[in-house]
Structure 1
């Protein structure tokens, strides 16, 4: 089976696709994956091609402010998306796959597959496109809208209209006179059912597979990090690609909250969402740009993070409590999900983060350790990529 994977966004959008790509290759399938520039994820052993859009630079230049995105929509975002959509079509045509598996941001992928007569499969890394009565769209900050829950999914599904000109330009690259169109055949949602049970009203074509994660590499922790982890109870803090507000004040709050709870702080500064001033440093603080989650999280007392879907699953798999500080999009949703499941305290929006508030919720996280450990055992037992590959093989007749 020839599988064309296409994903777009930040590292949390890329890594699950990499896990699926490696699992598919291990089963003997031919796999090519189209990815954004500068994703930060490990491409070793993968056949990758570029979608010619750098989400890392976009976030670094503009932060995560919707207002900034609105100001630069025509001059920056629209041209960048146009490049991505055209690149996706070019790669699908060049590879001639048996099945196309795509992230929702790659709007041209299903349209190109339809024109070429190839089955396509949508991957919702966040379940924001398949309506359900059980909860509103994860990109809407509401616990429930009652009878309007299903209607809340309409705006996300209308994204194609925002880029219809770019989409048409991309599809003009397709050769004429090909096989009649086929519709998207399935939806894969790489989310653990132990975090989000499958809604009863999802159609049978929607598969909640469990999370997609690479098997941990045999990477060793360096001596400095090993000594730090062995020096006492540690809280991990990292906000990935989130860059908004006062990063220095946020760093000071994290260090102060950790110290009030008798914890050492391992801080991953990521793309600049946390800044630790020299005055806050000490033997109980270790700062890195990034760390290997699978190596450090199981040894942490708790994790303070933004609530992106990838990190949510990494922390859940590690079996430690979550302290979620959401910034945008689906992050409040995941924070609320974890709180309802007894895996962490009530999330604290980043604009309301103070040392006092963070110290309090970090203290509350201790009561979640038992439930977090039990859930970790269940999540580690999942094999989401195997479930997903079973769906793809059935569609392609492999």
Structure 2
């Protein structure tokens, strides 16, 4: 029996995380991944990181089928009109699909603002959408990505300062995205506060903006960004043979996200601190969207890449986003070229910026001559050059929706938008990928038979380009491309994406209690149940003095809390202790470093031209003795004045240095107290609470700690339930095990009951301290850091006042009457 019991314990712990190793996430990644010159991340699936992550991949039945868009997605009418900001980072090809989406959302009555790079302002505004500039230069971004197509920059880029330039650009775009949520239109001055956010993942600010506002977030992208067993992350090149390919595919998303977070996590957390948000833990940042179950819509055709079966219902594949074909009349010379011979091959690389455009132009022209074909060459952002001839036509800006109807095949960089347009018209496609999702689309096209295997740009030659184009012109490739096009005709990606967006909104939580066609942004609470008020309803009530402005609190229709999840008590407690030690050490260092920095800043300030200490003291040369005596008195007076000034400056400097040191001392005690009384006990409590997960048991969710009240409530619930369940497990688990597996099940049940019972009782007891401490910490943080909330409230009132002044035909008396009725109901309650 003792042998069986020992084996049972071993089996119980076989699914536990690997023993804690004193290795940083950076070391684990270095052990598992290398970035090649072409940007692909070579990932060793036999590494420590993969072995660690593979233990936490959820199981999915082999016969699972993907969840399609439910029928209830088909809305005839949407009742709540929202302010929606769409945040997009990328090239014109990334922006264009969201213009189509924005115009579709306007049909539902929404107000839509597209926030993207300044260069696209005319493009967006002429499409009928509002625009907000977020900064960032897409041309510089594309040039950087061509030189550093992976996630880690090369030495050449490091020496040139490219990585710092990119980080600075990200800082600028983070702030631009935030301002796009709360600032008025730059042209019209009309106030705007976002009530929902749609974004592509590279915009980075999306989750953090949604958390600050408490509004729904929906991510949309042209590239797989959600973990799946079906295919690896497009940026991952898996190596190794000892791991199940499905497990390796799934974990590749985690590794790539880890790499990205290592480069930008500190930038994001610095920005979060400015906007009164707590830092995202290093273990949570990489997969925050998946942890929070943020709805995701992928805008590609399921005819090309079907939805994987292991993606949950809140992830959809809706189809490519196409805008209405623009009215376009070709210039006479282009029209004449198209009529002068057989359909040409389109060759263009859009927004890609290459270092040697002349070499690329030569390669293309040699290929055209070798194959004796006609070609339309797009100059693009690389400004490809050459002389036009009977067989070659150079083109500038021309809508692909029109042009691709007149070509035989398309050769491009593999951007999702260009890929979609070519396949939409049944054109065989050859992809020359540079970075990002481009290799993925090239491989998908090749797998469907609609094009050759993609050729990475650095391996491109006139010989292999000629072979690839020759394949595109075969009947087999043309038939495959036409087959995809016929399936795509039955899809409406933009409409399906809009329906997916609406289906994932919390409608009941969104609606104003008085004006149900408007979203609630304020909470008026008197009693146990708040009244949810829209901007307009609140301003009407304030205007007629039914409510006081100070009695309104911000209402969050989609509250987001970032928790630091723990796998087990050992790793959880140790990592919290290490984190606390790091924070305490930094605070202790600040006691000495910060005064020196303050002293240095004062010295630099005094040394600047124009400061009192940098100006020379002029002495006038005079000859008469009386004048010299008088001047001597003046000199003595100036010297005394300067001495007095230096004394005052010295006292000021000492005060500033002492204040800086005092702040360091304060931070030291804050970090020590928070770490020992909150972070470490909480990590141990959460780790103990997670122990039953290690042997497949569900762990009860008691909710999130938002403030001291919820902290006390959760601590009480957990103490009662945890104690009762822990004691019961000692008897229940052996009984369940015996019923399912006989004597062996009883032995396993004894092990589960002993381990799980001890963990539950211990976590219940420690939770009495940990959860109230966490709640108090969050309440203090919210009270001290209220600037962002104050700015949001101010912007809310400004928009509400504008709505109040400009809304006609609304019965204000009916609004007041409805509010009085709700308020009386609350009082009676």
- Please report the TM-score for the alignment, with normalisation by the length of structure 2: 0.45
CA distance in 2, matches of 1:124, 1:63: 18
What count of residue pairs does the alignment treat as equivalent?
A: 389
Q: Secondary structure at the match of 2:203?
A: coil
User: Equivalent of 1:4, from 85, 91, 94?
Assistant: 85
Query: Is residue 100–residue 120 contact of structure 1 (8 Å, CA) maintained in 2?
Result: yes
Q: Which runs of 5+ in 2 are unaligned?
A: 1-81, 149-153, 184-191, 279-290, 508-516, 518-829
* Residue 137 of structure 1: aligned partner: 233
* Residue 168 of structure 1: aligned partner: 269
1:48 aligns with 2:131: yes
Structure 1 residues 12 and 396: CA distance shift in structure 2, 3 A: farther
* Residue 468 of structure 2: aligned partner: 361
Q: Secondary structure at the match of 1:122?
A: strand
CA distance in 1, matches of 2:256, 2:226: 10
Q: Secondary structure at the match of 2:119?
A: coil
* Residue 76 of structure 1: aligned partner: 165
Q: Give the C-alpha shift of residue 101 in structure 1.
A: 0.8
* Residue 13 of structure 1: aligned partner: 94
Q: Which runs of 5+ in 1 are unaligned?
A: none
Q: Give the C-alpha shift of residue 343 in structure 1.
A: 0.6
Query: Is residue 135–residue 149 contact of structure 1 (8 Å, CA) maintained in 2?
Result: yes
Structure 1 residues 108 and 309: CA distance shift in structure 2, 3 A: same
1:109 aligns with 2:191: no
Alignment deviations for residues 192-221 of structure 1 (CA, whole Å, 9 cap, x no partner): 111111111111111111111211112222
Larger Rg over CA atoms: 2
Q: Secondary structure at the match of 2:310?
A: coil
Query: Is residue 112–residue 174 contact of structure 1 (8 Å, CA) maintained in 2?
Result: no
Alignment deviations for residues 336-372 of structure 1 (CA, whole Å, 9 cap, x no partner): 1100101101212222222222112211112201111
Query: Is residue 37–residue 55 contact of structure 1 (8 Å, CA) maintained in 2?
Result: no
Alignment deviations for residues 218-237 of structure 1 (CA, whole Å, 9 cap, x no partner): 22222111111122220000
Higher RCO by CA contacts (8 Å cutoff, separation 6 or greater): 1
Q: Which has the higher helix share?
A: 2
Q: Give the C-alpha shift of residue 185 in structure 1.
A: 3.5
1:85 aligns with 2:155: no
1:36 aligns with 2:117: yes
Q: Secondary structure at the match of 2:230?
A: coil
Greater displacement, 233-242 / 161-170: 161-170
CA distance in 1, matches of 2:499, 2:176: 28
Q: Give the C-alpha shift of residue 396 in structure 1.
A: 5.1
User: Equivalent of 2:318, from 203, 209, 212?
Assistant: 209
1:25 aligns with 2:118: no
1:191 aligns with 2:300: yes
Q: Secondary structure at the match of 2:422?
A: helix
Q: Which has the higher strand share?
A: 1
* Residue 268 of structure 1: aligned partner: 378
1:334 aligns with 2:444: no
Query: Is residue 82–residue 170 contact of structure 1 (8 Å, CA) maintained in 2?
Result: yes
1:118 aligns with 2:215: yes
CA distance in 1, matches of 2:423, 2:264: 36
* Residue 64 of structure 1: aligned partner: 146
Structure 1 residues 54 and 242: CA distance shift in structure 2, 3 A: same
CA distance in 1, matches of 2:95, 2:237: 24
Structure 1 residues 65 and 293: CA distance shift in structure 2, 3 A: same
Structure 1 residues 340 and 41: CA distance shift in structure 2, 3 A: farther
Query: Is residue 267–residue 285 contact of structure 1 (8 Å, CA) maintained in 2?
Result: yes
Structure 1 residues 150 and 70: CA distance shift in structure 2, 3 A: farther
Query: Is residue 343–residue 371 contact of structure 1 (8 Å, CA) maintained in 2?
Result: yes
Greater displacement, 50-59 / 81-90: 50-59
1:378 aligns with 2:487: yes
Q: Secondary structure at the match of 1:323?
A: strand
Alignment deviations for residues 31-63 of structure 1 (CA, whole Å, 9 cap, x no partner): 111101324982111101011111213435x46
Q: Secondary structure at the match of 2:301?
A: coil
Alignment deviations for residues 297-333 of structure 1 (CA, whole Å, 9 cap, x no partner): 1211111111111111111112100011112222122
Query: Is residue 136–residue 153 contact of structure 1 (8 Å, CA) maintained in 2?
Result: yes
